[in-house]
Structure formats: structure tokens, C-alpha cells
Amino acid sequence: MLQQLFATCPKAIEPLLANELNQLGAANIKLTQGGVHCTGDMRLAYRICLWSRLANRLLLLLHTGPAETSEQLYCTVQQVPWMKHLLPEQTFMVDFTGLSRGIVNTHFGSLKVKDAVVDYFNQHGVGRPLVDRHSPHVRINAFLHRGQARISLDLAGDSLHRRGYRIDGGLTPLKENLAAAILIRSGWPDMAVTRQPLIDPMCGSGTLLIEAALMAADVAPGLLRQRFALQNWCQFNSQLWHELYQQAEQRSTLGKAALKIEFHGYDAMPKAVSIARQNIHAAGMHRFIRVSQRELKDWQPLTHHADIGTGLIVTNPPYGARTSEVAQMRYLYQYLGKQVARSFSGWRLALFTGNPQLGKAVGLRSNKQYRFYNGSIISQLLLFELDQYNRFHETIQPQKVADSVEPPLDQGGQMFANRLKKNVKKLARWQRQGNISSYRLYDADMPEYAVAIDRYGDYIQVQEYAAPSSVDHTQAAARLSQVMSAVSQVLHVPPQHIFLKQRRPQKGHSQYSKLATLEQMIKVEEGGCRLLVNLVDYLDTGLFLDHRLVRLQIQHLAAGKTFLNLFCYSATATMHAIQGGARRSLSVDMSPKYISWGQQNLALNGFGEGLHRFEQADCLQFIKQHASSYDLILLDPPTFSNSKKMQGSLDIQRDHPWLIRQVMRCLNSGGLLIFSNHFRRFSMADSIKAEFDVKDITAETLDVDFKRNPNIHNCWEIRHHRL
């Protein structure tokens, strides 16, 4: 006997579900928003419950009738011979959707349906079934549309996307049927036939890996569930169900025995890897799927994968639920694009994201795009063929500024240009040998040309020191014009790559105050780290060049250690610690802007926040309350701060004894604190020298480009005295 069935699914999956139902043997298939209508016998209905990878629920139509008013709805429900579907001793619940002229909210509608069912049993003189909203025996579905009610039986019970293997979904898990739809759109079923490998470099709780393996092994997703609502139905055919269930088990056994495909998953978060392993084991696919904790930076193809030539990389990266996270995610997506283009030629990349704009940051041209809905979030699946024609290209570039006209050099300007040439020549060998792309070229070497000139890769920053009041402003402006012209000519840099700022004496966090809001970031490299620099919006760029040797020392010392970065600013030292092999790190700053900047640096280097965390906090309060201890700590506070976000103020000369003592509480007995500041007249307190093992390493931390300015910072190594 043919039945009218309706399979529900997430929006945008309807065409895939229709094709699946057709393959299962359904007839009269008709798509509608949120599901697919079809007809078939109960064998088909049972097969859909066992085999559908895409449906949420399977509804068996019992009756259709008028429901413009509550009275009509009541009468329509009573037309169903309920004792053929529900026993008096069983429990039930009502799922109700839709509105009509007389039914203005779904709660009222569900109550009318419940009353009609209960009254039906009372009218027949038998006991009435009870309502159970949590785990009922039978689920009744009522759907109102244009004054008509469709009364159906939910054969699935709990949604079919809940296969039964998910122990813990992690932070933002994909639903299983959405993951299956992503894989189908990615072409995975055909790739699985030819035994191509599948990799998820940011696997989270492992849903994509599990669904891919279930498909490849011909495992019916319904086999993993303990119960279906249809098994409580009065007309349940246990013999037919047992036959179909056994067939599915046999196919699963044969499919697993023949499965020769490699599935690999990676994630930066140890917790996610642990959850994925639990889920994979619960799904019975632990013999086929391998997951491990690995940063995106460290993700490389297995050696023998290079010989395979093709495979599928499918992943659902984080997309930044908050606006402040999106910039970080752009660099994560860019890193992913760069990695796959370099190491996975011939493969296919399937990238699913809840922020379609982030797809552009991958730096590759997608050949197909599909719209999906992850709940209510409009999402996109982007498919990339990683062939010779699809090369990675940088998509995140600083905005260009207008060209300027260079005035000819006068005698003074030529003298300045000659000094600049001399400095370039003097630093050239050091710069090449150390592979140093960001360094200071000039720092007021000639008093009348009081500027600092720093190179950041292909860009130049000129900082004008404020002239004394005795200097004529017109003359100072003319000299600055000569400086800008000489810089362009000597360094062969176009004017639009030269940025000018004026530096005045600063206090506290005023050096971090915004000058503009263009958000122009450029990338530079140092010690194997990629770092973001902003030459426009702030007086300081996000990278203190004079601390280069401090950062490299941290990189040298960090292997296997836990690292704490206090007053972390843009967390460049943290990047060096991670690059050096730090086991864990925590970076703390009061500014949400600089926490975000540090997180962007983290993503730019292919690392996640599983082992390397950021915390927005007042460092003075943090060190009083924090209980953990670390092997290596960087303490680089401002000279003075009285930010409104702080409790009290900070004067580094006055407060450093208290500050150091508090931080030393966070340092392991054999650990090292590196303490630095930019207060030129700083003097270490004798009490600290007596209480701890203190060594002044200022001279050792000044690189060649800062030897002429030995007072730019001071730096100390501080340890606990050995017992």
C-alpha cells in the first residue's frame, strides 16, 4: 500500500535529499522549502529511516482537513483513527507549526491537537495516553498552511541527523546531515569509489571525517541509533524491519572489510582532538580515521600522499562569530590557501564557512560555490581545484596612498641622502646575513635632520621628532620635505610606500593612541615568524624593532616551555616563543584592540588558540590573582599608565619592585623572567637585586641598528636564587 511521506531537511539541501529518496525507491517526488514529498510503501519508509544521510524527520501523512479555526482543527484531528496508531498506555507529544485565522500561536494549536487526541480515547471508553515532552513513544506532527492541517506521524522520533555517535559536539559542531550534504556537493562519493584520501586540517569534533568514512564504507547512518519512533507504532512490522536492518548490517560489514581509504584529521585544540576520537570510536570508525593535535602551520601531506596526486581536503574553519574576530580569521583562511596551494597540487579543497566573505581571503579561485544554511546562518561551500592554473595570491594588502611629487634635493638634502646611503651600505651585510627585513636605518644622525627611519620589508616609516620651539617651523617643514624626497631616491621606494609620523614625548598608553582608522596591515618576517605591522593608524607600529634580540632570545629559550607574555601588545614575542617550540603560552593585555592584533598574528602563522591563549585583562590585577606558574615570562610594561580600564596607575620606576615580586610568584623555581622597559632613566631597585638573581643584559639586547642609541631600552634577566 502506497503512503504519502514527507522528509524534512535543512534549507538548501532539498535537491540532494530528493536525489537520495529517488535512489532509495521513492516515487512522485516533489520538492518544497524545508523538505521533500514522496510516495512509497512501508519498506521505503523503513529504508529512509535507516539510510537517509540528509533528512531530519520522516512524516507519514494520516489525514488532511480544514483548520481555519480551532474548532475545525479539533474536528480534523478527531478524524484520525488514533487507536490504530497509539496505545492508551503509551505517551505522546505534539509538534505544531503554522498559523491560521483562529490559531494565532503554536502553543495554543498544539493544545487543541492534544485535546482532540485525548478526547478521542475518552470517547471510545478506554484509558487516555499521557503527554511526555522529553521521550514520548509517539510524536504527532501538525502542520497548518492556508487553512488546511496536515496531521502526520513522525516515524523517526528524534531527528535523523542525530546518528548516535556524538559524545560531545565541541564548540560549534556541524549537524551530521549538513556535513553529509557538504561531502556530497564536494564530490566525495565518486572520489571514495577510487579510494582517494580525505583530510580535514581543522576537524573539530570530527563530524566531516566520520560522515565521509560512513559513506565510503557503505554504513547506514541509522545503524548507529538505538531507537526509532516507528518501533513504538501500533502498525510496526517487526519482521520487515528486522530484514532491512540485517541487510544494512551485512552491507556495513562488507563495506568496512573492503575500505582502504585514508582519513586524517588535525586540530590545534587538544580538547577538540579528544572529542573527535571519542566520537570516531562511538561511530565504530576508529580503525579507519586518524586524528592528532597539530597546528595548521605544522600540517603537511604525508610522504606517500605526494605519490597519490589527488584527494579531498574538506574543512569547516572558524569564521568569527564576533566582528572583532573576523580580521584574525582572514589570516587563518589566507594561511590555509597558501598551505594547500604549496603542498597539495592536484587535490580538491572544499571549504565550508559561515562567513562567505572570508572565502575570498583563501587567495584561490573557486570553481563552484553552493549556498547552505547552518541553522539560521547563511553559509557557503567553496570548491577549489588545486591545479597549476590555481595559484595562491595575496588577498590582504595594505591600501595604497596617493603618489606625491618629489622636490629636488638642495645641499642639505644631499648631505642627508649621503648619510642615508652610508648607513645602507654599513648595514647591508648584517641585514643579509641575518635575513633581517625590518630594521632602523637612521636615527637623528644629523641633528638638523631629526627623524628616525625604519624599514619594514618593502615599506618605510619616517618618524619626525618634534622640533624645539626655537626652530623656525618653515625651515623644519622644508627639511622634512627634503628627507622624504631623499628617502624615496636613496632607498628606491615609491612615495606611496613611505609613511610619515611625528613623534612627541609620550606618557603611558598614549603611544598607542589612534592617528587614523585605515586598518592598513603589512606583513614582515622575523626569525621565521610572520608579523603584522600597521604604519598608519598608530604611532607605534606593532613591532618594536629595538626588541628584536629580546624576541630572538625568547625563541631560542622557549622549546618545551610554558610562556607568559604580560603587557603583550601585539604579541610578537609570543609568536617567537611558539616558533621556538613553546609548549603553551598565555598573552595578556588590557586592550581588546591589541589582543585582536595578537590573535591575527597567531592566525597569520598558522597557529590556533588551543595551546596558545589570549586574555584581555589588567595585568596588575591579573598577576595578583593568577595562580599558574610558567617556565619563561616576558614583562614589558609601559613607562607610565593611568588608563581608565586600570585600577590605579602604573609608574615603572616607582612600582617595579612590587610588580617584579608579583610576577616572580608566577615563575617556576628554575624559570626565567625577562624584564624590559623603555624608561631611559630607569634604575633597578637594590631590594630586587638582593631578593633575586638579577642580571642586566641591556647591552646584549641591542642589535647593530641600535648601537648608536644604547638608552632606547633596558633589559634584565631575573631568576629565583637557587637553594
Same domain, 269 and 377: yes
pLDDT computed for residue 222 by the predictor: 96
pLDDT computed for residue 164 by the predictor: 92
pLDDT computed for residue 301 by the predictor: 75
Same domain, 413 and 547: no
Averaged pLDDT, 549-553: 97
* Residue 170 counted as domain residue: no
Spatial CA neighbour of 501 closest among 522, 483, 488, 489: 483
Q: First and final CA of the chain: distance in angstroms?
A: 88
Distance of CA 135 to the CA centre of its chain: 35
Q: Rounded to an integer, what distance in angstroms lies between the CA atom of residue 448 and that of residue 179? A: 66
C-alpha cell at 200: 580535514
Q: Rounded to an integer, what distance in angstroms lies between the CA atom of residue 614 and that of residue 618? A: 13
Same domain, 320 and 413: no
pLDDT computed for residue 400 by the predictor: 46
CATH code for the domain of 647: 3.40.50.150
Kindly report the backbone phi and psi dihedral angles of residue 706, in degrees, each rounded to the nearest multiple of 5, phi listed first.
-125, 10
The amino acid occupying position 319 is: Y
Q: What is the mean pLDDT of the chain?
A: 90
* Residue 636 counted as domain residue: yes
Q: Rounded to an integer, what distance in angstroms lies between the CA atom of residue 5 and that of residue 630? A: 62
Averaged pLDDT, 208-225: 97
Same domain, 555 and 435: no
* Residue 249 counted as domain residue: no
Q: pLDDT band at residue 646, thresholds of 50, 70 and 90?
A: low
Check pLDDT > 80 for residue 225.
yes
pLDDT computed for residue 127 by the predictor: 87
Q: Rounded to an integer, what distance in angstroms lies between the CA atom of residue 21 and that of residue 51? A: 10
Secondary structure E strands in 636-692: 640-641, 650-651, 667-677
Residue pair 300/343 in contact (Cβ under 8 Å)? The answer is yes
pLDDT computed for residue 397 by the predictor: 62
Same domain, 467 and 323: no
Choose the weakest-confidence range: 87-101, 165-179, 538-552, 618-632: 165-179
Most confident of 224-228, 284-288, 385-389: 284-288
pLDDT computed for residue 511 by the predictor: 45
Residue-range definition of the domain harbouring residue 410: 397-504
Looking at 504, 533, 553, the residue that finishes a domain is 504
Percent of the chain with pLDDT over 90: 73
Tens-place pLDDT, residues 239-276: 999 999 999 999 999 999 999 999 999 998 888 999 99
* Residue 481 counted as domain residue: yes
Averaged pLDDT, 280-303: 89
Check pLDDT > 80 for residue 285.
yes
pLDDT computed for residue 112 by the predictor: 95
* Residue 243 counted as domain residue: no
pLDDT computed for residue 627 by the predictor: 84
Check pLDDT > 70 for residue 153.
yes
Choose the weakest-confidence range: 54-68, 194-208, 209-223, 534-548: 534-548
Same domain, 630 and 681: yes
pLDDT computed for residue 231 by the predictor: 95
Same domain, 474 and 421: yes
Same domain, 194 and 146: no
Looking at 353, 385, 417, the residue that finishes a domain is 385
Choose the weakest-confidence range: 183-187, 324-328, 467-471, 622-626: 467-471
Percent of the chain with pLDDT over 70: 92
58-71 residues labelled b (16+ CB within 10 A) or e (exposed): bbbbbeebebbebe
Q: Rounded to an integer, what distance in angstroms lies between the CA atom of residue 499 and that of residue 401? A: 9
Same domain, 367 and 304: yes
465-498 residues labelled b (16+ CB within 10 A) or e (exposed): eebeeeeeeeebeebbebbbbbbbbbbeeebebb
Tens-place pLDDT, residues 655-665: 999 999 999 99
CATH code for the domain of 76: 3.30.2130.30
Spatial CA neighbour of 586 closest among 573, 603, 600: 573
* Residue 171 counted as domain residue: no
Q: Rounded to an integer, what distance in angstroms lies between the CA atom of residue 352 and that of residue 372? A: 9
Same domain, 405 and 454: yes
pLDDT computed for residue 401 by the predictor: 42
Check pLDDT > 50 for residue 699.
yes
Same domain, 337 and 435: no
The amino acid occupying position 425 is: K
Give the helix ranges, DSSP H, for 92-195: 106-123, 176-185, 188-193
| 641, β-bridge pairs | 650
* Residue 159 counted as domain residue: no
Spatial CA neighbour of 262 closest among 310, 300, 213, 295: 213
Tens-place pLDDT, residues 250-259: 999 999 999 9
C-alpha cell at 250: 551485512
- Residue 710 vs residue 187, higher pLDDT: 187
673-689 residues labelled b (16+ CB within 10 A) or e (exposed): bbbbbbbeebebeeebe
Q: pLDDT band at residue 300, thresholds of 50, 70 and 90?
A: confident
pLDDT computed for residue 439 by the predictor: 97
Angle at 512 between CA 618 and CA 510, to 5 degrees: 90
Q: pLDDT band at residue 475, thresholds of 50, 70 and 90?
A: confident
What distances in angstroms separate CA 116 from CA 74, 111, 130, 151, 437, one per listed residue?
Answer: 5, 9, 13, 12, 78
Tens-place pLDDT, residues 326-372: 778 888 999 999 999 988 999 999 999 988 888 888 999 999 999 99
Tens-place pLDDT, residues 401-459: 434 545 678 898 899 999 999 999 999 999 999 999 999 999 989 988 999 999 999 99
Q: Are strands 584-589 and 612-616 parallel, antiparallel or unpaired?
A: parallel
Same domain, 663 and 632: yes
C-alpha cell at 703: 642589535
If one counts the domains in the chain, the total is 4
CATH code for the domain of 488: 3.30.750.80
C-alpha cell at 350: 572544499
H-helix or E-strand spanning residue 630: strand 630-635
* Residue 164 counted as domain residue: no
Residue pair 536/516 in contact (Cβ under 8 Å)? The answer is yes
Tens-place pLDDT, residues 477-527: 888 889 998 998 999 988 888 998 876 544 444 444 444 444 578 999 999
Tens-place pLDDT, residues 7-52: 999 999 999 999 999 999 999 999 999 999 999 999 999 999 999 9
- When computed from its CA atoms, the radius of gyration of the chain, rounded to whole angstroms, is 33
Angle at 607 between CA 605 and CA 608, to 5 degrees: 145
